[in-house]
Amino acid sequence: MDKKKIGVIGATGYTGSELVRILTNHPDVEITMITSESRAGELFSDVHPFLQGIADQKLVSINDIDNYELDLVFLALPHGVSMDFVKRFKDKSFKIIDLSGDFRLSSKEVYEEWYKLNHIFPEGIEKAVFGSPELYFDKIEDANLIANPGCFPTSAILGLAPLLKANLIEEDRIIIDSKTGVTGAGIKAKTVNLYSNVNDNFKAYGLKNHRHTIEMQGILDEVSGKETRIQFTPHLLPVDRGILTTIYARPTEKMDEIKLKELYNNFYENAPFVRLRKQEPAIKDVRGTNYCDLFVTYDERTNMIIVISVIDNLIKGAAGQAIQNMNIMFGLDQTNGLNLIPLNP
């Protein structure tokens, strides 16, 4: 089989570098085009020196896209910019996987309320498939536009989906407490991720109004068939990468550990990147991989179900999940190119 021709649109950020790093060793694809408007003409390894001698491809402008035959493009672009690309190239034959938030929500109105941006291509929202392979595998197979999930939503949705699908918890009293590494803030220098603010520190942010709240709630509504209500609070950890999410939910019927374990085992029996752990996982258990590690337990004293979910925010929370979606869209084994072993310690 001929290798699929891939374009990476937007190469200067963490997501772009992770896409290229993983795709370079993928057996079924070749990177045909990598773009950067600010660094066009330079080598990709000039932007990301750790890939010198591995990915030395010259960066080009998006305006040169007609010079390339492409089967699929990844959009590693900021929110508000991806929609411009999708609208401009909507009639092209290549498939699109967008890693921004531009097509993840249910409508133009919801997007504009939470992102405070005008959405110029609502038709894309209607056509996009939410790229969670564990939930929407069949839809992803036939999709031409994938809205790759956010990192926090990936950890939370995978932790909650079995419980909500089985209607085993109160859907209007869900607490999601998440901690993330600083790469979640992107590669550009910001006050929030300066060394002096992050080192030896730990803090909450985005209380009550973080934009990932509505993304989680929209998908969880679909999973449960009911209107959910979540309390989501993210925190910034003084680490490079990784997300640890702790979820608290109250059961609607008598619960025990055996029932919980069976529920999760059955729900994820065909999910190669979800690992159900026997003990509480840590972010180093998934560092550098496409795994989501889950641990679920029941506290009889408080009558609460507790779920711990950990992912690498740059891989399962971004580039790795996008490549998993690409594999499904091309009819490949979804694990191709993603057999990565955790970096621990």
Phi, psi of 19 (to 5 degrees): -60, -50
CA neighbor of 107 nearest in space, from 91, 90, 124: 124
Q: Are 162 and 249 in contact (CB under 8 A)?
A: no
List active site positions: 151
Using DSSP's 3-state secondary structure scheme, residue 289 falls into coil
The helix or strand, by DSSP H or E, that contains position 148, with its residue range, turns out to be none
Residue 66, Cβ neighbours under 10 Å: how many? 8
* Peptide bond preceding 281 in cis form (omega within 30 of 0): no
Pair type for strands 292-299 and 304-311: antiparallel
Please return the burial class of 127, using the count of CB atoms within 10 Å of its CB with bins 0-12, 13-18 and 19+. Answer: middle
Pair type for strands 95-98 and 29-35: unpaired
The helix or strand, by DSSP H or E, that contains position 294, with its residue range, turns out to be strand 292-299
Q: How far apart are CA 185 and CA 181, in angstroms?
A: 8
Using DSSP's 3-state secondary structure scheme, residue 57 falls into coil
Q: How far apart are CA 60 and CA 63, in angstroms?
A: 8
Residues 6+ apart with CB under 8 A from 333: 327
Q: Calculate the CA 125 to chain-centre distance.
A: 17
